[in-house]
């Protein structure tokens, strides 16, 4: 955290805290331990959270930006206040993670659903690998030498192996079959190229799975609150891009281009992706959340959720 960052501390009563927590759990998957040192089932009189003072400037957008102001008109004042508190809570979660990372070396990406991380990063890599396998010529009944190198330039971790790869068994069979098993709906090189193009059209945020959790959670939350029936409203995209800019996930120049976020939302909807952070406290999950987690843990290996890679 920058030493010049100015923080604001706020003591919130337990009832209000629980109301805001309802939104963070429902739309982002974030439970109480994201925001304070929670003791399961212990009710507090007040909960102290902190956030950057700059988030107060973000609040002004709701009144000063005409497009945003028009978008949030249908939202009742008390619910609008809750939504603004959600943004402050998210800011608090990122600050706490940053402080923890500085102290212990943990990364905030550890707080998101690892299965979702693989969905958003490994799938693209597997598509590229699948294309490579499909488009590489095979020399039948001959060696097709493959050189594997990992961590090149990192002295203690660099490894290299030369594999004769007779009849190109690695690309023709082993790697190709593995890609097919995990890609599911991909049956040809053309299928793979088509999906990779959608990744490219989704914009820079497609490479940031944490940003996707923020984008989708905010999208779903405001869609419900505003009873918005459009796929991607300009006002909502403006809210999301400005908040991503506040979190330093995109630049100020990118924040004026709502189409970056609109494209990413359309891609997630098309692929039926609903990225969320992982609850920190199993004991604080409700029955449905517990059942979903247990169902996930019981899923067999070798499926499109990449469980065998976790």
In the beta sheet, which residues pair with residue 112? Answer: 277
- How far is C-alpha 262 from the geometric centre of its chain's CA atoms? 15
Whether residue 255 is predicted with pLDDT greater than 80 in this model: the reply is no
Whether residue 301 is predicted with pLDDT greater than 70 in this model: the reply is no
Residue range 193-251, pLDDT digits in tens: 988 877 665 544 445 788 889 999 999 999 999 999 998 999 999 999 999 988 888 87
CB 284 within 8 A of CB 24: no
CB 179 within 8 A of CB 192: no
Neighbours of 208 (CB within 10 A): 18
In the beta sheet, which residues pair with residue 49? Answer: 10
> How far apart are the C-alpha atoms of 293 and 216, rounded to whole Å?
20
Closest CA to 72 of 227, 215, 216: 227
3-state secondary structure of 142: coil
CA of 245: how far to CAs of 207, 251, 298, in Å? 16, 6, 38
pTM: 0.63
Whether residue 288 is predicted with pLDDT greater than 80 in this model: the reply is no
Burial of 102 (0-12, 13-18, 19+ CB in 10 A): exposed
List of residues 6+ apart from 193 with CB closer than 8 A: 131
Residue range 134-177, pLDDT digits in tens: 999 989 999 999 999 988 777 778 899 999 999 999 999 999 99
Largest CA distance in the chain: 75
CB 97 within 8 A of CB 89: no
Phi, psi of 266 (to 5 degrees): -60, -40
Residue range 44-97, pLDDT digits in tens: 888 999 888 888 887 888 888 999 999 999 999 999 999 999 999 999 998 888
CB 104 within 8 A of CB 255: no
- How far is C-alpha 237 from the geometric centre of its chain's CA atoms? 17
């Amino acid at each position: 955290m920058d030493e010049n960052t100015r923080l604001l501390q706020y003591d919130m009563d337990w009832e209000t805290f629980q109301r805001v927590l309802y939104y963070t759990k429902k739309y982002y998957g974030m439970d109480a331990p994201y925001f304070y040192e929670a003791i399961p089932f212990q009710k507090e009189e007040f909960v102290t959270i902190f956030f950057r003072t700059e988030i107060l400037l973000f609040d002004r957008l709701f009144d000063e930006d005409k497009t945003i102001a028009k978008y949030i008109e249908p939202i009742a004042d008390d619910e609008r206040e809750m939504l603004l508190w959600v943004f402050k809570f998210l800011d608090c979660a990122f600050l706490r993670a940053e402080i923890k990372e500085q102290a212990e070396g943990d990364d905030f990406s550890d707080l998101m659903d690892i299965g979702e991380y693989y969905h958003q990063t490994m799938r693209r890599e597997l598509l590229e690998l699948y294309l490579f396998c499909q488009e590489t010529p095979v020399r039948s009944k001959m060696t097709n030498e493959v050189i594997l190198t990992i961590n090149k330039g990192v002295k203690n971790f660099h490894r290299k192996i030369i594999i004769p790869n007779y009849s190109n068994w690695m690309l023709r069979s082993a790697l190709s079959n593995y890609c097919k098993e995990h890609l599911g709906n991909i049956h040809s090189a053309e299928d793979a190229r088509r999906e990779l193009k959608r990744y490219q059209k989704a914009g820079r945020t497609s490479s940031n799975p944490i940003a996707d959790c923020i984008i989708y959670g905010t999208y779903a939350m405001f869609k419900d609150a505003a009873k918005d029936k459009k796929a991607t409203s300009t006002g909502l995209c403006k809210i999301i891009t400005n908040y991503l800019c506040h979190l330093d996930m995109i630049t100020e120049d990118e924040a004026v281009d709502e189409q970056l976020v609109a494209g990413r939302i359309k891609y997630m909807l098309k692929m039926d992706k609903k990225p969320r952070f992982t609850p920190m406290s199993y004991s604080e999950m409700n029955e449905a959340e517990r059942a979903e987690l247990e169902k996930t843990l019981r899923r067999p290996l070798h499926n499109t959720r990449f469980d065998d890679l976790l």
